[in-house]
Structures are given as C-alpha cells and as structure tokens.
Amino acid sequence: MATATYMEAGRAALAEEMRRDPLVWAVGEDLGRGGVFGQYRGLVEEFGPERISDAPISEAAILGAAVGAAMMGTRPVVEMRFADFALCAMDELVNQAAKARFMFGGQTRVPLVVREPIGMWRSSAAQHSQSLEAWYAHVPGLVVACPSTPADVKGLLKTAIRSDDPVVFMEHKNLWGLTDEVPDGEHLVPFGEARVIRPGRDVTIVSWSAQVHVAVEAARKLAGEGIEVELIDLRTLWPWDKARVLESVEKTGRLLVAHEAVAVAGFGAEVAATIAEHLGQRLKAPVRRLGAPRTLIAYAPPLENAVRVTAPAIVEAVRDMVGRS
C-alpha cells in the first residue's frame, strides 16, 4: 500500500478504469490541461483527447451528451468543476439521467458519473462553495457518493464508473491535498457501506466528506474527557447504511449528525428522522444535528468561518447530550 493524495487517488481510479474498459471516457471543461484542480493531469497524454475530452463551457450539453453517450453503451465520466455549476445542467441530470431507465420501462441504462466538487474552499464565496448532496439524495434514480479519504475516493470512484446507475460523485475541494494510504490495484468500495472510524459506547456521530475530519478532532477531544464517540462515515448518502447507523445508536443510545451543508432539509434530517422513527423510545437523549445556518457562504474569512460546523461545536453538542455541559 502506498500513500497518495485525495486528488491522486481519484486520478488513479479513473486511469485504472480507462485502461480496463475502452468505453470509459471523461469529458468536461479544461480536462486536456488537467482539470481545474489537476485531477486529470497527465491523462490526456496516455488516453488522447478523444477519451479525455475538452468541452465547451456548456454544462447542459456536457451532461446531456453524457446521457446520450451512456444510453449508447459508453461510460462517460463528467466533470462539472464545481457542484454549483452543475445546476446549469439540472434537467439533464434530474429529468433525463435519473429517469431514463424507469420511464422507458427498463429499455435503457444511463451509466454515467458526474463529478461535482463540493464544499468551502477559502474565499470562493457563494457560487463556488456549496454542499448540495441532499438535493440528489432526494432524486430517485441517482446514487450519491461523498468520500472523505483518498482510499475512499479511489474505491468509490471505481465502483461508480462500473455502476450501471447514474452516480453523483462529490469530492470535497478542501481535501484535494489530503494524503493517506491507498490500496494498490483493484480496490472497490461498495455503495451503501458506511465505515466506522472509531468505536465508542457513549454517542454515535454520523458524518461524511470533509466534516468527518472535523468530527475526528472532536472525538479525540471528547475521549480526553472520558466520552467515547462512535464515529461513522456514511461514504454514500444514497444508498446509505441505515443498518450500520441503527446498530450503532442501539448501542450508544445517542445520535448526532454533523455535516457542512445547510442544516435545514439537509441529509442530516433524513438520518435523524430515521433513527427517531426506529429507536425513539429507546434513546437516552433527543437526536441532534449540526449543519450550517440557512445563509449563504461569504468571501471574507471571518464570515466564512461563521457558518462552519467546528470541532468545538461538535464537542459542545455531545457534552450536552451526555449531560456534561
């Protein structure tokens, strides 16, 4: 096992899948020059400009063309640069990609992957910073992946490329440089299988994407106070590992969901409601969730920081839940 950055792991996953399957190709703006963050650097040299294809700044055409190309048996990997820009292609993703298999009665499949980098990235402001994963979890037909580690980027991206369903693949921009161990070669992470980052008896924290690392910091601090957190990284929001979370909360009796996205109607609400429905009477404390306030993300660092779910905020919520505040 070697170490790699989150970005390198994604690049390796795509390259391995393109070597394995000649029908896999990537398309998006500036891919030939390596992509906006360098995720595609070097790939055009190996695979040529037809398979690492530059596209006009036409999000609807990029995603719509991917739908048509997927229905014709190829496996496009679509780059949207920022999740915010993918909104220019919502019809193509929500009305076309997600629905084609069903509304055509199973005559076709749309095996495409849409890479939508999410999250706050210092001073990118309101149109380059959103975490919109909950929107897609709401749409029947879509898979939603939000990896938090280099190993998961590799394993989930490879699974996504091999999936016959359309997959919204959300990488966090603040994690591109994160370095960690990544299994060599055939490393596949299945959809809907959460990862327990640390076991604990007192409180279950559920998180995903970059927020997982904030929760790790909080859990360390809480451990120093004698509060043992069981931290679960969902990895995919649809499907999500309900069984794993239920099992954990049965044990701890307490659930906190923490995510970077706006709390209102966020995916944390789905997790919280599910646990409340199943375990309501047996909980030791009311289910809690932490997310951003329902405001926009500003440019100036102090304003940006004001909407973050921080480790101290998580620590405080957990202390409150266990009656130690």
Catalytic residues: 128
Show the tokens assigned to 308: 């973050």
How far is the C-alpha of 209 from the C-alpha of 175, rounded, in Å? 9
102 versus 299: smaller Cβ distance to other proteins: 102
How far is the C-alpha of 325 from the C-alpha of 323, rounded, in Å? 6
If one asks whether residue 26 binds other proteins (CB under 8 A), the answer comes out as no
How far is the C-alpha of 180 from the C-alpha of 57, rounded, in Å? 33
If one asks whether residue 238 binds other proteins (CB under 8 A), the answer comes out as yes
- Residue 108: CB atoms within 10 A of its CB come to 15
75 versus 195: smaller Cβ distance to other proteins: 75
The residue within the footprint of other proteins, chosen from 34, 64, 183, 253 (CB under 8 A), is: 64
39 versus 163: smaller Cβ distance to other proteins: 163
**Unique residue bearing structure tokens 């490879």:** 158
Show the tokens assigned to 52: 């690492």
If one asks whether residue 51 binds other proteins (CB under 8 A), the answer comes out as yes
**In whole angstroms, how close is the CB of 166 to other proteins at the nearest point?**
8
Q: Report the amino acid identity of residue 166.
A: P
How far is the C-alpha of 51 from the C-alpha of 107, rounded, in Å? 26
74 versus 310: smaller Cβ distance to other proteins: 74
How far is the C-alpha of 168 from the C-alpha of 153, rounded, in Å? 13
Stretch that binds other proteins, among 157-165, 168-176, 195-203, 259-267 (CB under 8 A): 157-165
Residues touching other proteins, count (CB under 8 A): 49
The residue within the footprint of other proteins, chosen from 163, 209, 211, 248 (CB under 8 A), is: 163
Show the tokens assigned to 172: 């966090």
**In whole angstroms, how close is the CB of 51 to other proteins at the nearest point?**
8
**Residue 281 burial class via C-beta count within 10 angstroms: exposed 0-12, middle 13-18, buried 19 and up:** exposed
Interacting residues with other proteins between 265 and 294 (CB under 8 A) = 277
The closest alpha carbon to 277, from 318, 235, 244, 246, belongs to 246
If one asks whether residue 165 binds other proteins (CB under 8 A), the answer comes out as yes
Binding site for other proteins (CB under 8 A): 23, 25, 50-51, 55-56, 58, 60-61, 63-74, 76, 91-92, 95-96, 100-108, 140-143, 163-165, 191-192, 236, 238-239, 242, 277
